[in-house]
Structure 1
């Protein structure tokens, strides 16, 4: 085999691996975990941070791989997923299963090295995502509610990795990302409604792109906004937030709420896409603000 051919095979394998593990999604999850770790850590432990990043990616990658194995026939029906490795035929189910299994073992071991409770939450996350959320997606819109639990774990997982315990601080971080899941996934479900319909997925709370769904999106956006600034009240233990940071987060929440209201008024795909993108920006920016707020307060 020539060198160029070998490089080509490696490139294609890496490409398939990234698709199977949903690289961008996995990286965003790792980002949330690292933010949670920085919030919870009294002393910075570089090696634990590396273990959390690699272990977190492995767990998310495994969940996504198992998900694509289960949904391979449905993925083949949808435009946005038909070119994934399994439905496109570039990777066999057995290979995907082996990768998912190896990633699960690696992820659990690395998280266990940090501390057992971190590994436990990692295991709960992959179990809920693969064994309950994935099958429910073709049965009921309640799948989004179930999926919000594993989806909300990463931010909290970082705190648990740093402290070795679960308390009101980790619970607050969990609730922020839990409520955020609903406007995020419902706007995505609205935007890609036709494609999801082809695959037989039920993502919207009423099953339709109607005022009922839009109203629920607004309500959960409001809850997300409110929970995100609760630490400014000083009722969340060691998780604190300055007034300035709370105002910034509240302002970001109002932007997301604006798009949610626009979706209610117009009920068009354009507004759903705008809200989805705003939600991604929101969760990323507030995590950055939380971390900066902590360390600026420590320096002052």
Structure 2
């Protein structure tokens, strides 16, 4: 009997660990950081790349664990989050706090071994996510604006890790991922509107699933597209984009814009979910095109 019990609990411990650190989200952030690093570097240093991957993972894992500690009572109210380790009672707040603290220290120390600026931006990201974005989520839709800052840091962080320099290039990468997050977040806020309402979260810019929110989603998608092709014009320093790559990136942007306009026309949760899925593919594809373009140019 004890054998079957241990075999049942060990996968759930791993699952809970993945859940408290939001492994899938953390890995997508690591992907962004690595893309930024490859764009900034002259010759790839695999040691730095591995450090960046682990440092980035710890950083996001820490932010997510702190977030779930703070929101444990609200998470218990929402269908989407009530089965998370803390509200479901599978993990104590103390355990989660220890994980979050270890991850914070490990993340900042690892990033510090790359360079000081990388560690600084990593620390800013954890602070903003945990201490500003998380408490604001129940107060104002402006929380999305604040949350977009730590959310946009990873792409830029990779460049800073590669060059130990913050300039126009990582600034452009930051802007691209910053603007992208609005249509992405608002699409999530739209199709999870009723569930978010149970927890008292205000994620949509107008507070409602209305034309105003849909119009702003379209506007920020257009801003994202504009920023994504800026490097082709040659004034973003070492961050360059060939005409072919710019056209591809622009077309991918139009694909996302199509779904943003579709949300405006349909005003349904299904349309919002489709936009969210397309937005995830969009940012990944754009980063891949940027990196491939650099190495074949």
TM score, norm. by length of structure 1: 0.97
When residues 6 and 140 of structure 1 are mapped into structure 2, their CA distance, relative to the original with a 3 A threshold, is same
Q: Distance in 2 between matches of 1:229 and 1:191?
A: 29
Q: Distance in 2 between matches of 1:10 and 1:239?
A: 46
Look up the match of 1:139: 139
Deviates more, 1:8-17 or 1:85-94: 8-17
SS in 2 for 1:90: coil
Report whether the alignment pairs 1:199 with 2:207: no
Look up the match of 1:116: 116
Residue by residue over 1:162-221, the C-alpha shift from the partner in whole angstroms, topping out at 9 and shown as x without a partner, is 001101000000000000010000011001100000110000000000010000000000
Q: Distance in 2 between matches of 1:145 and 1:206?
A: 13
SS in 1 for 2:78: coil
Q: Distance in 2 between matches of 1:56 and 1:3?
A: 36
Deviation at 1:9, TM superposition (A): 3.3
SS in 2 for 1:88: coil
Structure 2 unmatched runs, 5+: none
Structure 1 unmatched runs, 5+: none
Runs of 4+ in 1 over 2 A off after TM superposition: 1-10
Deviation at 1:49, TM superposition (A): 0.6
Deviation at 1:270, TM superposition (A): 1.1
Report whether the alignment pairs 1:86 with 2:86: yes
Look up the match of 2:180: 180
Look up the match of 1:27: 27
RMSD of aligned C-alpha atoms? Answer: 1.1
Q: Distance in 1 between matches of 2:221 and 2:98?
A: 39
- After superposition, residues 190-229 of structure 1 pair within 5 angstroms as 190-229=190-229
Look up the match of 1:254: 254
Residue by residue over 1:91-144, the C-alpha shift from the partner in whole angstroms, topping out at 9 and shown as x without a partner, is 000000000000000000000000010000000000000000000000000000
Deviation at 1:7, TM superposition (A): 4.5
Report whether the alignment pairs 1:269 with 2:265: no
SS in 2 for 1:230: helix
Look up the match of 2:47: 47
Q: Distance in 2 between matches of 1:3 and 1:242?
A: 59
Look up the match of 2:103: 103
Q: Distance in 1 between matches of 2:122 and 2:178?
A: 16
Q: Distance in 2 between matches of 1:75 and 1:2?
A: 32
Q: Distance in 2 between matches of 1:51 and 1:6?
A: 33
Deviation at 1:6, TM superposition (A): 4.2
Residue by residue over 1:260-289, the C-alpha shift from the partner in whole angstroms, topping out at 9 and shown as x without a partner, is 111111211111011111100000000000
TM score, norm. by length of structure 2: 0.98
Look up the match of 1:278: 278
Q: Distance in 2 between matches of 1:180 and 1:39?
A: 19
- After superposition, residues 161-172 of structure 1 pair within 5 angstroms as 161-172=161-172
Residue by residue over 1:20-45, the C-alpha shift from the partner in whole angstroms, topping out at 9 and shown as x without a partner, is 00010000000000000000011111
Look up the match of 1:63: 63
